[in-house]
Amino acid sequence: MIRQLVIAMIFANLATISVATSQAAPAQSSVVGFADTLMPQPSQLSTQEGRLAITASFSTVTDQFRDARLDAAIARSLVRIENRSGVFLPTTPQTNAASANLVVSVDGPEGTIQSIDEDESYSLEVTSSSAHLRAATVVGAMHGLATLEQLIQSDATGYFIPTVVIHDTPRFRWRGLMIDCGRHFIPVDVLKRTLDGMASVKLNVFHWHLSEDQGFRIESKAFPKLTEFGSDGLFYTQEQAREIVAYARDRGIRVVPEFDMPGHTSAWFVGYPDLASAPGPFQIERKFGVFDPVMDPTRESTYKFLDTFIGEMAAIFPDHFLHIGGDENNGVEWKGNPRIQDFMREHNLKNTAALQNYFNQRLLKLLSKHGKHMIGWDEILTPDLPKDVMVQSWRGFDSLAAGAKNGYNGILSAGYYLNLMSPAAAHYAVDPLPDHTDLSAEQQTRILGGEACMWEEQTSALDIDSRIWPRAAAVAERLWSSRNLSDVEDMYRRLEVESLRLESLGLTHISQEDVSLRQLSGTEQIAPLQTLASVLEPVPFDERAHLQHANQLTPLDLLVDALPPDPPSRHNFELLVHAYLQHPGGRTGAQTELTGKFNEWINGEPGILRLMADSPLLAQAEPRAQQLSELGTVGLEAVSILSSGLPAAAGWKGARLAVLDEAEKPQALVRFTVLKPLRDLVNAVPEAGGGK
Amino acid sequence: MIRQLVIAMIFANLATISVATSQAAPAQSSVVGFADTLMPQPSQLSTQEGRLAITASFSTVTDQFRDARLDAAIARSLVRIENRSGVFLPTTPQTNAASANLVVSVDGPEGTIQSIDEDESYSLEVTSSSAHLRAATVVGAMHGLATLEQLIQSDATGYFIPTVVIHDTPRFRWRGLMIDCGRHFIPVDVLKRTLDGMASVKLNVFHWHLSEDQGFRIESKAFPKLTEFGSDGLFYTQEQAREIVAYARDRGIRVVPEFDMPGHTSAWFVGYPDLASAPGPFQIERKFGVFDPVMDPTRESTYKFLDTFIGEMAAIFPDHFLHIGGDENNGVEWKGNPRIQDFMREHNLKNTAALQNYFNQRLLKLLSKHGKHMIGWDEILTPDLPKDVMVQSWRGFDSLAAGAKNGYNGILSAGYYLNLMSPAAAHYAVDPLPDHTDLSAEQQTRILGGEACMWEEQTSALDIDSRIWPRAAAVAERLWSSRNLSDVEDMYRRLEVESLRLESLGLTHISQEDVSLRQLSGTEQIAPLQTLASVLEPVPFDERAHLQHANQLTPLDLLVDALPPDPPSRHNFELLVHAYLQHPGGRTGAQTELTGKFNEWINGEPGILRLMADSPLLAQAEPRAQQLSELGTVGLEAVSILSSGLPAAAGWKGARLAVLDEAEKPQALVRFTVLKPLRDLVNAVPEAGGGK
């Protein structure tokens, strides 16, 4: 919790800075004759008029290296193109490259474990007769196939791939998504579709946060009481974990498991209280925040346990890295235990940070023994650690840079916390290597990338898709594409298309909203509620945490849980108002559309209130229905006055801004997405007796 | 295919008969002060004013028998009530029955294998302070819990259970759903949510059609080539099959596997050609229909294979029954094989039916050896078979009755083919024991129930939910509730509520339509397309089969695949028109709503055409957009004339009926749902110079 709030603060600053930056940046030039919706944008793209048609005779060949993983990746892509186009395409790679429409040339096999040094680059050359995809590795080829799928377009004549030449290589080699499966359990099928989404935007690390105060989520055969008492029965079997690892590998994604230690470990201690620094018994923690329970780093039995446990996990997770967490140990139990205090004195450990460093050093030996590199959050970085330890920074770029200056590799997560409910633009503006860095060229190479983080205090399996997608695609582009890419409007334009592609993979980030609105209102006739929902989004994470006091057992079934953060309607309304303000006097399409929307808001109120009347869960948001109508009236008035070319009566503006201020206040954990552009609209109205 | 067409014909007749029946039947009386949405309707229900509130102190106790299965069922129900109400309810059964709000009293354990004689009855008594659920078995208690969930209601004051007394017992003991996973593979998670849906409407048999000409879908360790060559890699591992069996048992559902023999077996022969009656090699069949490949019943090696195979499957599927299919063997390969002809002569088998009877007799011995009773389709029923063989009738009630007269137990499936795209009302009108039966009381006891069937020629994992749900709930009610229940309008009223409850279980039968419309049009702005979709449904199965010539590899990604059969809008529009026709002269709410709809249809056309312009898959339905607009005009004109009280100009009616006739013609595999009521509307208009 504390980490979340600190992050929120850091992030609020970052967002402000970066929005300013992005507004100042020049727009990307769009390529003529080609509707570019690629996300992430490739390093180099050139195009010419022409197209490769998708027809029933479309054939595919692998003409160099080929294995089951490559075959499966090609088959998946062809099935998707098939579903998109309605044209059945044979999925069995043939052998005659000369007559094939898609030739996939991969140099050769890579290691059985995908490393951070994997060559992920590819090139794709599409002519009007064929497409040629070249890559050094299968992973590179998979990225090329993802690009190929994104290239598919249609017009009245059919489905086709435009003629392009692409040379593409990622800017950063660690592009991750962390999912906290500790605070709320996420089922295997949800993780699988998430991995499909990741692959489609070229993310390459699934960081699986598997243990928390609120739940221990993976079966240990050596220590079965971890899940028997620490999981509420909600955990992954080893079989399922292997299934996820294999599924990820098939999509060019590494799986880095995290076992957060020595803090955030309440759930471990329910079954194994002897691991703890205070006497038990322990309970699964239901509240969210930072808690006292912490492993006892002074007893050899702790390391014996961890040796066995890490050995067991190392056999399930082949990745070279294992994440040990290491964050938010408040030291309370260490200070309160005389035996531990004695140990610190004997070993000349001056404070709890020094004791945690001792713990990390011991842990490091165990990881090495089992063939793993260590990665952990900022707190683990102490000068004594060897240089192959890697840091994941929730504290921000300065902390990351300090590590790099001391010779440590690192990745950035501050600025990429999806649970904060920030707009995609804010995440997009955060760069692991910002322009203003004072790092040397060599130090810069130590910044390996970043990870979007999905913490699960306020999210469950039902709404996780809309909390991750499509915003994670904006982070994916930031980590893959050029730093110079900063056209936020173009990002949003492509993000809207990518969102539909993600939906085609089975993700429910769009559909879940209506499902939840139907469940909340008990009817399929939800049109009025959809009007309200279209201008609302969840409040920021910290605001909800402050207002709701939820714990792990609180049902997540309110209006706020139905709403996606940063919906396309938010950005589109902003564009509409600004388009209107270009010519407020003329009768433009923008004016008609805007007036239509305002009338819809005004007319929606009775229907919304009717749907809320019998639904106590929805009723909490009743004031929002009335405010929506008021906002519609403010909008209509503003447009009416602006169109007339006459000034408003004195006091008009102040009264209308007060309506907006009122709508800004917290209510039912949801906020309006339209207030800023509405404010712009009201402020654009000239007032009698005053300046504009 | 032939079976499908025969069924379609039988069914068309049945539907006509039964709609007439249901219209003649008296409406059910509704209970005062209680919004009854129970589905299926219980045997006995009485109610009085009052409610049991759902509050945070709601507690649950099992005061007699208790096991893990019962605990899990209670926990599931409480979590659902929790998600519905937003109130966290402790799920750990407590021990103090006196203070509990929900007391579950189960007499004792039943057998480890759920039998067809299981006592499924329960009673539920709700007062303003507590609910008492009593059942002889855990399965009975599960049905009671399903009813309890359906009772939850809300108003402005909160969520509650109305005070009712229910005594409930099923009319039939075999209430099944068959899913054909051979023609299209259905993933495990889809099957699981289907089982959840089945449990919610008290269906108790999942008939798992696991092998077909188009695919062999379950792993055999003894004969791995069955799936290696016969499944396209799409099959259930034994582990997954056990998972499904356990999941079903946890929900009071038996799993009856079907291995269709001796025909429908092309996929077996790809890996094991020696089983066949003709020389190989064989291919997975891609087309749909009845094919020649058939097992060789004359070789001992066939029975040796089947002995091992059935033994292996018997260990996975504990149910007392194993379904052997037995349908649609055309005898061609038997007639064409001299060795088989010799065998028939030697054994005095006069025709291929006699040879199939010989095969069945041999198979029966193998089933008995492995502890299984035989069930098969109509064709297996020959006089020589012992009386414990059971028949599933796709041919219809007469065939079923003939079996019953000869002493055989049977279930009905004719009339319950969900793939035919018939309205729920048509299925609802089909009774396994119709009023006009000439069966004796004893013979009637041999009719054990029925099964809804989901054949998968035209359905894949993406749209299966909307093909099964909510219509299967109408079949479930027919099989559980009183024969006298025949108020179709009340059924539709409750079905609409049940549909939302089914959605809360994770079923996608409602949400998939918009997902597909977005995918087809490539945008989230699908409002015009939703207008069109709201008055369309898929054409009947046989019409599509005739028009499309699809095979197993044809992508199912057209507009028709997005549309649910028998959408609520169909019935609701019918009600609206008939409500309007009660008072066509007055300015009623019905008139306003109707006029609004017609205008929406007219105004929708440009938007629909714009969305179709770049989507060749959608463009096939372009004529429907124009027709929609024309239908809107016809409707507006009719309402306008009827409201005026004046007659239409001569020729008006004929011209307008011609528009409806035109709209009736096949187009893009979709049909309008509104033509019949529109016809009623036009016919209600008096014409100048003629009678009404």
* pLDDT tens string B332-375: 999 999 999 999 999 999 999 999 999 999 999 999 999 999 99
pLDDT for A21 equals 33
Q: How many residues does chain B have?
A: 692
Looking at residue B647, the DSSP 8-state letter turns out to be P
Position of tokens 């196939």?
A145
Nearest CA in chain B to A568: B524
Could B84 and A557 be called an inter-chain contact, meaning their C-beta atoms sit closer than 8 Å? yes
Nearest to A558 among B86, B87, B159 (CB): B86
3-state secondary structure B316-344: HCCCCEEEEECCCCCCHHHHHCHHHHHHH
pLDDT for A99 equals 81
A464-474 per-position pLDDT tens digit: 999 999 999 99
Q: How far apart (Å, rounded) are the C-alpha atoms in residues B559 and B671?
A: 11
pLDDT for A690 equals 57
Nearest to A156 among B87, B519, B614 (CB): B614
Nearest to A568 among B503, B524, B616 (CB): B524
Residue A376 Cα, gap to closest chain B Cα (Å): 34
pLDDT for B436 equals 86
- Dihedral angle sign, alpha carbons of residues A439, A441, A446, A450: positive
Give B558's contacts in chain A (Cβ within 8 Å). 86
Q: Which of A234, A284, A498, A519 to mutate to test the interface with B (most CBs of B within 10 A)?
A: A519
Q: Which of B54, B83, B240, B552 to mutate to test the interface with A (most CBs of A within 10 A)?
A: B83
Residue A513 Cα, gap to closest chain B Cα (Å): 10
Give B84's contacts in chain A (Cβ within 8 Å). 519, 557
**Pair A392, A413: CB distance under 8 Å:** yes
Could B522 and A510 be called an inter-chain contact, meaning their C-beta atoms sit closer than 8 Å? no
**Those residues with Cβ within 8 angstroms of residue A365's Cβ, 6 or more apart along the chain or in another chain:** none
**Pair B391, B378: CB distance under 8 Å:** yes
Residue B183 Cα, gap to closest chain A Cα (Å): 16
Give the residue among B421, B416, B408, B453 at the shortest CA–CA distance from B432.
B416
Residue B79 Cα, gap to closest chain A Cα (Å): 9
Give the residue among B72, B54, B52, B53 at the shortest CA–CA distance from B62.
B72
Residue B298 Cα, gap to closest chain A Cα (Å): 37
A18-49 per-position pLDDT tens digit: 333 333 333 333 333 478 999 999 999 999 88
Give the residue among A158, A163, A132, A128 at the shortest CA–CA distance from A55.
A158
* DSSP symbols for A293-332: --B-TT-HHHHHHHHHHHHHHHHH--SSEEEEE------H
Cβ atoms within 10 A of the Cβ of B471, count?
Answer: 27
Q: How far apart (Å, rounded) are the C-alpha atoms in residues B197 and A124?
A: 46
What distances in angstroms separate CA A174 from CA A322, A417, A435, A447, B505, one per listed residue?
14, 16, 19, 9, 37
Could A615 and B503 be called an inter-chain contact, meaning their C-beta atoms sit closer than 8 Å? no
Alpha-carbon dihedral angle through residues A606, A607, A612, A613, given to the nearest 10 degrees: 60
Q: What percent of chain B is modeled with pLDDT above 90?
A: 87
Q: How far apart (Å, rounded) are the C-alpha atoms in residues A158 and A155?
A: 6
Side chain identity at A470, as an amino acid letter? Answer: P
Q: How far apart (Å, rounded) are the C-alpha atoms in residues B443 and A348?
A: 90
- Dihedral angle sign, alpha carbons of residues B76, B77, B83, B89: negative
| pLDDT band, residue A97 (cuts 50/70/90) | confident
Q: How far apart (Å, rounded) are the C-alpha atoms in residues B385 and B380?
A: 9
Q: How far apart (Å, rounded) are the C-alpha atoms in residues B652 and B636?
A: 13
Give yes or no for residue B7 having a pLDDT over 60. no
Question: At what angle are helices A511-521 and B511-521 packed, to 10 degrees?
Answer: 150
Q: How far apart (Å, rounded) are the C-alpha atoms in residues B214 and B184?
A: 8
What distances in angstroms separate CA A71 from CA A66, A76, A205, A431, B214, one per listed residue?
7, 9, 22, 35, 22
Nearest CA in chain B to A507: B515
Give B500's contacts in chain A (Cβ within 8 Å). 518-519, 522-524
Side chain identity at B501, as an amino acid letter? Answer: R
B246-286 per-position pLDDT tens digit: 999 999 999 999 999 999 999 999 999 999 999 989 999 99
Which member of B110, B212, B285, B328 is catalytic?
B328
Give yes or no for residue A432 having a pLDDT over 60. yes
Cβ atoms within 10 A of the Cβ of A521, count?
Answer: 23
B125 is catalytic: no
Kindly list the residues of chain A whose beta carbon comes within 8 Å of any beta carbon in chain B. 82-88, 154-159, 189, 239, 496-497, 499-500, 503-504, 508, 510-512, 514-515, 518-519, 522-524, 553-555, 557-558, 568, 613-617, 619
Q: How far apart (Å, rounded) are the C-alpha atoms in residues A400 and A561?
A: 33
Could B616 and A156 be called an inter-chain contact, meaning their C-beta atoms sit closer than 8 Å? yes
Q: How far apart (Å, rounded) are the C-alpha atoms in residues B207 and B180?
A: 9
**Pair B616, B660: CB distance under 8 Å:** no
Q: What percent of chain A is modeled with pLDDT above 90?
A: 87
Give the residue among B374, B426, B416 at the shortest CA–CA distance from B395.
B416
pTM of the model: 0.93
Question: At what angle are helices A675-684 and A622-644 packed, to 10 degrees?
Answer: 30
Alpha-carbon dihedral angle through residues A604, A610, A613, A618, given to the nearest 10 degrees: -40
| pLDDT band, residue B92 (cuts 50/70/90) | low
Residue B227 Cα, gap to closest chain A Cα (Å): 17
Mean pLDDT (chain B) is 92
Give A499's contacts in chain B (Cβ within 8 Å). 524
Give the residue among B469, B554, B645 at the shortest CA–CA distance from B183.
B554
Q: Which of A84, A520, A549, A573 to mutate to test the interface with B (most CBs of B within 10 A)?
A: A84
Mean pLDDT (chain A) is 92
| pLDDT band, residue A9 (cuts 50/70/90) | very low
Which member of A328, A333, A451, A456 is catalytic?
A328
What is the pairing mode between strands B211-212 and B215-216? Answer: antiparallel
Q: How far apart (Å, rounded) are the C-alpha atoms in residues B412 and B174?
A: 10
Give yes or no for residue B91 having a pLDDT over 80. no
**Pair A631, A659: CB distance under 8 Å:** yes
Give B524's contacts in chain A (Cβ within 8 Å). 496, 499-500, 510, 568
Q: Which of B76, B149, B154, B609 to mutate to test the interface with A (most CBs of A within 10 A)?
A: B154
Q: How far apart (Å, rounded) are the C-alpha atoms in residues A507 and B73?
A: 28
Predicted-assembly ipTM surpassing the 0.85 threshold = yes
Angle at A117 between CA A484 and CA A416, to 5 degrees: 45
Give B619's contacts in chain A (Cβ within 8 Å). 156
**Pair A474, A424: CB distance under 8 Å:** yes
State the distance between the two ends of chain A, measured CA to CA, in whole angstroms. Answer: 45
SS3 assignment, position A125: strand
SS3 assignment, position B566: coil
Could B499 and A82 be called an inter-chain contact, meaning their C-beta atoms sit closer than 8 Å? no
B113-131 per-position pLDDT tens digit: 999 999 999 999 999 999 9
Kindly list the residues of chain B whose beta carbon comes within 8 Å of any beta carbon in chain A. 82-88, 154-159, 189, 239, 496-497, 499-500, 503-504, 508, 510-512, 514-515, 518-519, 522-524, 553-555, 557-558, 568, 613-617, 619
Could A515 and B503 be called an inter-chain contact, meaning their C-beta atoms sit closer than 8 Å? yes
Q: How far apart (Å, rounded) are the C-alpha atoms in residues A98 and B354?
A: 55
| pLDDT band, residue B5 (cuts 50/70/90) | very low
pLDDT for A687 equals 87
**Pair A566, A424: CB distance under 8 Å:** yes
| pLDDT band, residue B385 (cuts 50/70/90) | confident
Give yes or no for residue A17 having a pLDDT over 60. no
SS3 assignment, position A15: helix
Tokens of B468: 């099964």
User: Rounded to 5 degrees, what are φ and ψ at A672?
Assistant: -75, 145
Could A500 and B523 be called an inter-chain contact, meaning their C-beta atoms sit closer than 8 Å? yes
Could B557 and A504 be called an inter-chain contact, meaning their C-beta atoms sit closer than 8 Å? no
Residue B593 Cα, gap to closest chain A Cα (Å): 14
